[in-house]
Amino acid sequence: LSWEERNLIETYLKKGEIKVICATNIMAMGINLPFKNVIIAMDKIYNDEGNYPPNYRTSLTFAAIENMGGRAGTLEFGRVIFLAHSPVLQNIYQNLYFKFLKDNNCKHKANKQSINIDNDLLTYLLRLAVNINLNYEDLKNHIKKEEFVSLKSQSKFEDNNFLSGYWQFAFNKANIHKRIEKVLNILKGNRLIRINRNGVLSPTDSGILISAKRIKVETFLFFKSWLRYCKKGDISILEILFLLALSPDGKALPIPFSQAI
């Protein structure tokens, strides 16, 4: 649907003039509909050519169910009703879909949110430089106090409220000063930070861009190296996808089960 068509549906639904909507899983995507009841048939008719003879039925994927369920699929807001045509299908759907959805619902994820622990000192120091006018001596003293330093640690840095988020960084203090020196030299050598005469770290435009995009410094350097050595000419979409898959951030990116089937 176009933006105008989606806006038309959303507006009159909120006014109460639209009571029922019938849509395919594709048409249901991208529309913000506060329905509390969504009825889903567990299979669909698939046709490549648009003619009746080649038609065949296929089951819906988890991604299609999530897209069609919308807000109603969220716990404590609404419900998604599955239509099974026989007790056999009911048993199949119960074991196939509901068992998975029960173990992977929003409430379950909220209670058992996974935390990624990363020891990427390179990215950590760059983020500190971007968010705080950090003095080099203060940085060394802060790390010296703790066996591990993490983004959730109790320190004066936490008051800035920039340390919240999905990632937590943890570092062993063994040889930490030498590692800091090495990392700062890498950041300076690649023109991602500056250190003034007072020892205060400040980011360059490239350093700010890396932090804003929430990627690792290693990913940025990997992209930079690839652009330097790649052949001149047009870059295809396939090359870009392949590059992203080989990057440090790409390798660490999980693929949800519902997207993988």
Rounded distance between C-alpha atoms, residue 180 and residue 62, angstroms: 45
**pLDDT confidence of residue 256:** 54
Across the chain, mean pLDDT equals: 73
Q: Pick the more confident residue, 50 or 227.
A: 227
Rounded distance between C-alpha atoms, residue 71 and residue 79, angstroms: 9
Residues 69, 40 contacting (CB under 8 angstroms):
yes
Q: Pick the more confident residue, 168 or 159.
A: 168
Rounded distance between C-alpha atoms, residue 164 and residue 113, angstroms: 14
Tens digits of residue pLDDT in 31-45? 667 777 888 877 777
Q: Pick the more confident residue, 195 or 190.
A: 190
Tens digits of residue pLDDT in 51-100? 555 566 777 777 777 777 776 766 667 788 888 777 777 777 777 777 66
Residues 180, 121 contacting (CB under 8 angstroms):
yes
Tens digits of residue pLDDT in 225-239? 888 877 677 778 888
Rounded distance between C-alpha atoms, residue 167 and residue 187, angstroms: 21
> Class of 116-251 per CATH?
mainly alpha
**pLDDT confidence of residue 14:** 84
Residues 97, 82 contacting (CB under 8 angstroms):
yes
H or E, element range at 65: helix 62-69
With a threshold of 0.85, does the pTM exceed it?
Answer: no
Going 212 to 214 to 220 to 226, the CA torsion angle's sign is negative
Domain coordinates in residue numbering, the chain? 3-111, 116-251
Going 242 to 244 to 247 to 249, the CA torsion angle's sign is negative
